[in-house]
Chains A and B, each alone.
Chain A
Amino acid sequence: MFALCDCNNFYASAERLFRPELNGKPVVVLSNNDGCVIARSEEAKACGIKMGDPEFLVRDLIKKFSIQVFSSNYVLYGDMSERVMHNLGRWFPRLDVYSIDEAFGWLGGVKDLGNYVPKIRESVVRNTGIPVSIGVAPTKTLAKLANKMSKRTGGVLVLDSDEKIKAAVNDFPAHELWGVGRQHYKKFESLGIRTAGELRNMPEMWFKQHMTILGQRMWNELWGRPAIPLEAVRETKKGITVSRSFRNYIEQPEILAEALTLYASRLAEKLRREKLRCLYLQVFLYTNKNREDHPQHFPSHTHKLLIASNNTTDLVSIAVRVSARLFRAGVKYRKAGVIATGLVPENELQLNAFFDHDNGKKDTVSAVLDKLNLAYGRGTLRMASEGYEKKWRLKHEYLSKGYTTRWADIIKVK
């Protein structure tokens, strides 16, 4: 049996844990740069706020219903996610963390699921303060479906018999199934398929013809035959990106270099955390395509490194050099990013006969950097070219505190 555990309105719930006065009140969380809504509490959904709504479009609703707004605080969400996943991990022989707020668990050999699963939920909610829902079924597709339905049945739904599965799929809209996109939705509509039950009653041949191998898997999964295994090993990454919008437009090359220094430093950090090196570093710049009155420029360049690297100094110097070449005067840039591709395992370093390698001196520097920043907080030691003012930094006017990660931010009680 598979379980899908998912945190309810995760970002909003994490914010409310440290602001209990907001329980029962509408809360929304905005994306990076306070652009659009990326999380809503149930109350905010009821106010008519949609996922992805730009902040300026819902300003009136926010005012009208006194909705509490938060900038995304990924430091907090990351820590709370880790707590939830660790707590979940104690209950499952195997756990596959699927996203920041979702995990598939394998419940092989567990008897009396009706008793066991509510206990998991209860303990995770108590220990972390984050409400979770758990759907259990013989396949991942059905577990996902059970999870969605469980939000209406107190947070736990176990589909452990053919009758229960039948009742559930007959009740579940086909377009909300895991892996069903917009294209499929149209196809279903034209055939008059509304529920998952109607969908699984289609012949297997139809799935084969119209929905490729993925559809065939879905068909099997809907009948309770596992076709998608629990991911035991995470697929190795093909590329890692760090990209962000600026608070204001950037028009000066020196300022652009500051931003690229920060992004490349973060990228190098990410690579080291994944124990990877990259052979290619792509740098790109964007202007605001919605401003027809601005000159548009979307340059991008991929630089090939002589030797695969993951140290901060290498990646920063490349990113800054490339960005200076891409930069065009008189253009207002809105966003920039760096992408590392050609990823190779850190310890499989391919040297080059025509290039003098520094014998890992820069890697040692990076290791020291990571150690110090881990102990004393991110950004304690950084490249000076990052600058000091950082006026281009993300906008986050409604940022909550680092309640669980910064001593200065812990909550005071009386």
Chain B
Amino acid sequence: MIRSFEKRAEQKISGFQSPAADYLEGRLDISERLVIDPHCTFYFQMKGGGMESCGILDGDVLIIDRSLKAHHGAIVVAFSAGSFICRMFLIENGEFVLKNDQATVRETEMGMLQVWGVVTAICRNMLPKALRTGRYSHVCTL
């Protein structure tokens, strides 16, 4: 979980004023890179290995921006046949195609398909099991 909670401890200087005091810039915050527009951003989570060839693994948190229009090659979250799915969005011969490691579905077969949003980035916990404890158990993932 990304949290900008109290970026810097309150500085109470008893001795000399820090020469850096005038140069404070604010520390880097990864959410600036992951979330471009918070008011259009939603989060989903990948279940299963259907998108492994695209680099999305089971448990990855998907960052979805609804303001983007799906283009050829975009990873999207769509709603089809009663459930949310994550797929690669392709345009082949002018036809919309959704694809994952198991199946390719063309527009004509999709019926009630809606692209819900475009996946802009993923978050993944890279810790081995032994380190996934306490406040590190939810690094990026759940």
A: residues with CB less than 8 A from B are: 20-21, 82-83, 86-87, 123, 126-129, 371, 375, 403-404, 407-408, 410-414
Whether B71 is near chain A, meaning CB under 8 Å from some CB there, is: no
B66: chain A residues at CB < 8 Å are: 126-129
Find out whether the CB atom of A128 lies under 8 angstroms from the CB atom of B40: yes
In the bound complex, what is the Cα–Cα distance between A404 and B41 (angstroms)?
9
Whether B42 is near chain A, meaning CB under 8 Å from some CB there, is: yes
B84: chain A residues at CB < 8 Å are: 411-414
Name the distance in Å between B59's Cβ and chain A's nearest Cβ: 10
5 further interface pairs, Cβ-Cβ under 8 Å (given A126-B66, A413-B85, A413-B86): A128-B39, A404-B42, A407-B138, A413-B45, A413-B83
B: residues with CB less than 8 A from A are: 1, 3, 5-6, 37, 39-40, 42-48, 50, 61-62, 66-67, 77, 79, 82-86, 114, 116, 138, 142
In the bound complex, what is the Cα–Cα distance between A413 and B43 (angstroms)?
11
Which of B3, B5, B40, B83 makes the CB contact (< 8 A) with A414?
Answer: B83
> Can you give 30 contacting A-B residue pairs, CB < 8 Å?
A20-B114, A20-B116, A21-B82, A83-B40, A86-B39, A126-B66, A127-B39, A127-B40, A128-B39, A128-B40, A128-B66, A129-B66, A371-B6, A403-B42, A404-B43, A407-B142, A410-B43, A410-B61, A411-B45, A411-B84, A412-B45, A412-B84, A413-B46, A413-B62, A413-B77, A413-B83, A413-B84, A414-B48, A414-B85, A414-B86
Which of A20, A82, A413 makes the CB contact (< 8 A) with B39?
Answer: A82
Which of B47, B48, B50, B67 makes the CB contact (< 8 A) with A127?
Answer: B67
B142: chain A residues at CB < 8 Å are: 407-408, 410
In the bound complex, what is the Cα–Cα distance between A413 and B114 (angstroms)?
14
* Given A412-B44, A412-B47, A413-B85: A20 and B79 interface contact (C-beta under 8 Å): yes
Which 8 interchain pairs have the tightest Cβ spacing?
A86-B39, A127-B40, A20-B79, A412-B47, A413-B86, A413-B84, A127-B67, A375-B5
Which of B40, B79, B86 makes the CB contact (< 8 A) with A87?
Answer: B40
A411: chain B residues at CB < 8 Å are: 44-45, 84
A123: chain B residues at CB < 8 Å are: 67
Find out whether the CB atom of B3 lies under 8 angstroms from the CB atom of A375: yes
A129: chain B residues at CB < 8 Å are: 66, 116
Name the distance in Å between B80's Cβ and chain A's nearest Cβ: 9
In the bound complex, what is the Cα–Cα distance between A82 and B41 (angstroms)?
12
Name the distance in Å between B104's Cβ and chain A's nearest Cβ: 15
